[in-house]
Structure formats: structure tokens, C-alpha cells
Structure 1
Amino acid sequence: MKACVLGAGSWGTALASVLVSNQWDVTIWARRLEVAEDINLRGRNERYLPGARLPAGLRAVTDPEDALRHAELVVLAVPSGAVADMLPFLRGLGEDVLLVHAVKGFVRPDNLRVSAWLERHIPGIERRLAVISGPSHAEEVVRQLPTTVVVASASRRVAESAQDALMTERFRVYTQADVVGVELGGALKNIIALGAGLAEGLGLGDNTRAALMTRGLAEITRLGVALGASPLTFSGLAGIGDLIVTCTSEHSRNHRAGRLLAKGLSLSEVLASIGMVVEGVHATFAAEQLAKDCGVEMPITHAIARVLMGEISPSEAIELLMTRDKNHEMEVVGAQPLTAEFRLP
């Protein structure tokens, strides 16, 4: 069984390692020659997963067409800003090839979920498309620490095929039909992780972080329901599960970015320091626009957007949130069904 992983960043490399351990013949596409050579010659990816040993048999190439040749399963694991660059190669996939995307972000400037963007540009792709998300730091997945994720698709057959391909004794995969909710949970939690990092960088305590996570989940759910997601999805792995791990872990780039912003670094200095894509930055501006379009209130997202734009300081953002008008905690988030049903066989 041949699989291709497009993207040799930390997440793509970790998923490639899972597939190799599940007896797939895996080729990973790397944009950087030095990353491909590191994987092929040393069994490492020091740029994105320093110190991790990769399984024998993982092959890396720098030509996407070479990587995709004869693949029965394709995993799309590039940053959201690179999804459009992959379109010419994805359009050429055979109709029996399963595509699983692992991108936790939006395609800008349209602010579309990745699956929605793919469906717009590749007619019929939803019949063989799945999305994978959940609390799954690549640094722990590649070490085979127990991890649980969720795979969502409009098709039960596709969701279960992706589940079979990826599930191991150390990487447990659940299935879901709510593609919208699973994608939005994975993208929007990065915004709240920026806020949690800001709070930690300011020296604020556990109370503040818990408040940001809880109220952050509320606004994620509000926007999700407005865009067609089931509210129940946000209480699962792709919602609160991913939110917890991203807001609390040392592995989280978004959390680290928030800490650096709180120390007084500019956004450009923060991104240069981290050296990898911080999806929460793009997601903040995408969510800000989506919230306006839907008439949804997202005060945490709005405050973080103003910090990123340099309009207010991190401490002013906290003050802004704490001095908002009085409100009731429990909110009506819409009349969406509690569960989503598979629409395709």
C-alpha cells in the first residue's frame, strides 16, 4: 500500500511515521532539499522535529509528482498558506485515491475552510476527502506516545478508510461526520492559544488561562454553529481536546508566539524567532472577518487581532476583556442538531 504525505513539517512527518508503522510504503514531499536529505540519509528531521528518530523506510523527495506517483492515500499536511500551491498536483489524483487533509487553518484571502476550498476547485472531491484533527502534538506522535484524534468526512466509507489507514496501538482514530466542526475546531483553537500565551507572558495565573480557554470555547462554538457545525463537536477531540493541548503545551507554536508578544516583541520579530508557520495569526484575521459576516460576537478573537495589528498592548487586551458589559454565561448557540450524519455512503 503506497501513501504520499505532502509536507515535511512536524505534523506531516509525524503522520508519515504513523503510516510507516502501520505498514504503508510512504513517500513524503519536502519543500527543502536539506530536509529531504536529513530524512533519507540520517532518519531525522532536525529542522522540524529535533532529536526525533524516524522509522526506517520513510522516503523523502522534493518533487511532488514523484511523491504522488502510484499513491493510494494522500495526506495533505502543508501550512494553510501553501494549500493553493498544491492544487495542480491534487487535481491530477485518480478518482480512487483517498485524500486526508491535516491543515489546521483557513485558506486566505477567501477565509475558507480547507475542505470547502478544495471542493470549490476540485469538483467531486468530497466523495474521497477526509479531515484529521484533535489533540496531537507532532513531537509526541513521533515518539509514539498515546494519542487520540478524529477523522471527519461526508462519507462513512471514506472516514472509516482513513481510520483504518492511520489507526495503531499508539494512535487511536475516531470517526465523525461533522467536517465543518472538526475543521473549525482545529483552526480556531490556535487563536485562543495565542491568548493563553499572552496571559502567561504577562505573568497572569491559572485562573486567567482557564477563563480564556472556557470563554474561548464559547466563541469558537458560536462561530462554528453559525457556519453549520454541530455544537457537540466542540466538546470532543477536535474542540476542547485540541484547545486544551494547544493552550497548555510547551510544544505549541501559537502559545509560544503569545508569550513572546507579551514580552514586547513585534509580530514580525516573533515569527522570525519561531521560524515556522504560526497558524493562529492567519486564523485570527480570518475568524475576525467570518464573525463580522455572520454577526457573531468573538471578543477574545477581536482583542487578539488588535494586539497582532499593534493597536493595543497585551495588557490592554486583558483589561478590555475584563471590563466588557455584564453578560449571562449560558448562551443559545443555535438550533443545529446535536450530531451530524454522514451524507455519503
Structure 2
Amino acid sequence: MATSTQTIAILGAGAWGSTLAMLAQAQGHRVRVWDRRTAPDLAGVLQGAEVIVSAVSMAGVRPLAGAVQKIGIPPQAILVSATKGLDPVELLTPTQIWAANFPNQAVVVLSGPNLSVEIRQGLPAAAVVASRDPWAATQVQRALSSDRFRLYTSSDPIGVELGGTLKNVIAIAVGVCDGLQLGTNARSALVTRGLAEMIRVGSRLGARPETLNGLSGLGDLLATCHSPLSRNYRVGYGLGQGKPLGQVLAEIEGTAEGIHTAPVLLKIAAQHGIPVPITHEVQLLLQGQTTPVAALARLMERQLKSE
């Protein structure tokens, strides 16, 4: 589906960055991958890039954006953020960090229900590319879409980004529920109320509710809460089985961003007066200040209200 061959720089060689590189190469693009551990020549990777995709973990976004800013990129280059998380320093999303460093650059967010293992196996998937610049979103859509990876465009970047970020916290809670073997009824209620919590936060921060009910919100939530491939779900599942957090993290590969997102989300919710009961219980559990059984019990005992 790509209209022309482009030079695409993928910054980050983890599971998701490597998968995006594979997708871009399959479309015939010239792909360069940067990894801070094995390829320190960032300037060489960026040179002549028309699309620059950031797929590093949340902790790496701010230093990477600063490094790219020092090097400089062509004014027509499109920046794409594929990171799901929140910055603990300024409580910003990854795209907001990139936009602050490159105020005159087109910035796009890519997010959706994308388990990288399945995509690398050739299984079909879909995602959303969102930007305030419709041309930039369309360019990325055309560059990366294929018969196995369908991309939709959106003009609600904050909604798309928050959907992919907030669902990680809910996935931990659902994993706890399953680890406790509380059944399908409890899991369904938790996923549904988790989505309501995501929409509450997103709406207050400027997202459109319909975006969070779409692929990058509900779709990503369902994928993350229903697959053992999800690191966040596995964290919750292990905690639900009574394992200490350190042991759970040692058993999984990669970063479970929900662990880092929960405390930042609580700060944002406190600033805006947004009730986030599920996130609150997840954070208490991550800090070892409650047990899985007590956390779920408090959620069930909350004051009765209309849906």
C-alpha cells in the first residue's frame, strides 16, 4: 500500500521497534534502526530520514528527544511516537515531549492493539495514526499499511495516545483478577469499569470519548487484558498468585509500562480531581501496601451509584 519508497529511521530496537522495522522493510522502504546499546551513531541513522519513529521505552523518550534536537532533522521529516507511557517529571505524554522539542515539526502518534509477537508471526493487526496535521497522519498511514497491518487515521492524538497508555494500568488489575481466579463475571466488570476510568481521564485531558471507545482505547484494552503475551497483564497475574513484584518482573522480558504509569496517572488525577479507583488500588498493590484480595474487595465495596 505504500505509495513510494521512503527512508525511515526506527529509534529503538526492542520488540516493538524491531516489529515496526520489519513492517517498514516489507513495504520496500529504506530502513535504519538505532539502538543505544549497539548503534551509537544516531546522526547517521537520522541523516536523510523522511519518517522518524521513536519506539523507545518511556524512560528513554526525553533524553532521546534532546539528542535528536541537538543533531537536527530536516523540516519536512515526520516524527512518529510509538511509546506508551507518561513522563514522571512533567506529567507529559511522549508526543507532547517530542512536540516541545520540535514545535515546528509534524508529530504523529501510532498506537493500537498490537502485540508484537503476533505481528512478527504474520498475523493481521490494526492500529491508529493520529496527528493535528492530517497530511502527516496520511503519509505515515500510507508508508506502513499493508495487507497484514491496517492503519486508520485520527485527528485526536491525545485520545489515541492516552488510550494506549492508560490501558496498561487496567491490564495489571485484570491480571490480578485472573490470578485470583475470580471468574469471567468479575473480569468483564473490571474491564468495563476500567474503560470508564480511561474515558474519565481522557475526557478531562482533552481526548474525545469516541476515540477511547475505538481501536486505540477499547481495542488495545481488550488485547492487553486478554493475552498472556501482555507484560502488564502478566505482572498483575503474578501478583494475583501471591508472588512479590520483584519475582514477577524477573520472570518477564521487557518493560511493563503500567508499573511506571500508575503513579504518574495518580498525580494527574489529583491535579484535575478525577476519580481513578482502579489505578489507586493498582498503585497500592505495586507498592506492597495492600493485598490483591483486599484491593479487589475495596473496589466491590465502593459506594453504590448509577453506571
What TM-score range do you get, normalising by the shorter chain?
A: over 0.9
Distance 1:275 1:140, change over 3 A: closer
C-alpha contact (below 8 Å) 1:144/1:171 kept by paired residues: no
Alpha-carbon shift at residue 248 of structure 1 (Å): 0.3
Q: Does 1:8 align with 2:13?
A: yes
Task: Output the amino acid matched with 1:109.
Answer: V
Question: Take 2:98 and 2:200, find their aligned partners in 1: how far apart are those partners?
Answer: 24
1:143 is aligned to 121
* Percentage identity across paired residues of the two chains: 40
CA distance in 1 between partners of 2:119 and 2:303 (Å)? 43
Give 5+ residue unaligned stretches, structure 1.
Answer: 34-60, 330-345
CA drift of 1:285 comes to 0.9
**How much does 1:119 deviate?**
2.1
Match of 1:269 in 2: 247
Q: Secondary structure at the match of 1:106?
A: coil
Aligned residue number for residue 192 of structure 2: 214
Corresponding residue pairs, total: 300
Tell me the residue number matched to 1:96: 76
Q: Distance in 2 between matches of 1:201 and 1:63?
A: 44
User: Is 1:24 aligned to 2:29, yes or no?
Assistant: yes
Do residues 327 (structure 1) and 301 (structure 2) align? no
2:144 is matched with 166
Query: Which amino acid in 2 is paired with 1:98?
Result: I
Partner AA of 1:12 in structure 2:
G
| Counterpart Cα distance in 2 of 1:147 and 1:89 | 32
**Distance across 2 between alignment mates of 1:167 and 1:276:** 26
Choose which of 62, 74, 99 in structure 2 pairs with 1:119.
99
Opposite residue 115 of structure 2, the aligned amino acid is H
- Residues 111 and 269 from structure 1, CA distance in 2 versus in 1: closer, same or farther, beyond 3 angstroms? farther
Tell me the residue number matched to 1:337: none
* Paired residues of 2:130 and 2:155 also in contact (CA < 8 A): yes
Matches within 5 A, 1:28-47: 28-33=33-38
Structure 1 residues 222 and 4: alpha-carbon distance in aligned structure 2, compared to 1, 3 A threshold:
same
CA deviation digits over 1:224-255, x for unaligned, max 9? 00001111101100110000000001110000
> 1:205-234 CA deviation, whole Å, 9 max, x = no partner?
111111111000001000100001111101
Aligned equivalent of 1:338: none
Q: What is the CA deviation profile of residues 29-79 of structure 1, one whole-angstrom value per residue up to 9, with x for unaligned ones?
A: 12333xxxxxxxxxxxxxxxxxxxxxxxxxxx4432222222111110000
Distance 1:88 1:296 in 2: 32
Describe the superposition over 1:116-141 as per-residue Cα deviations: whole angstroms up to 9, x where unpaired.
Answer: 1222233223xx11000111111111
Task: Please state whether the residue corresponding to 2:80 is helix, strand or coil.
Answer: strand
1:237 corresponds to? 215
| TM-score, reference length from structure 1 | 0.84
Counterpart Cα distance in 2 of 1:24 and 1:121: 26
**Deviation at 1:271?**
2.1
2:63 is aligned, of 81, 85, 92, to 85
Counterpart amino acid of 2:7?
A: K
Q: Deviations over 1:148-192 (max 9, x none)?
A: 110000011011011011111111000000011000000000001
Contact preservation (8 Å) 1:234, 1:240: yes
Matched, 1:190 2:195: no
Residue aligning to 2:285: 307
CA contact (8 A) 2:66 2:101 kept: no
Residue by residue over 1:268-324, the C-alpha shift from the partner in whole angstroms, topping out at 9 and shown as x without a partner, is 332232242110011111111111111111111111111011110011100010011
TM-score by length of 2: 0.95
Structure 2 residues not aligned, in runs of 5+: 1-5
| Kept after mapping to 1: 8 A contact 2:48/2:74 | no
Pick from 134, 140, 153: which aligns with 1:175? 153
* Aligned alpha-carbon RMSD (Å): 1.2
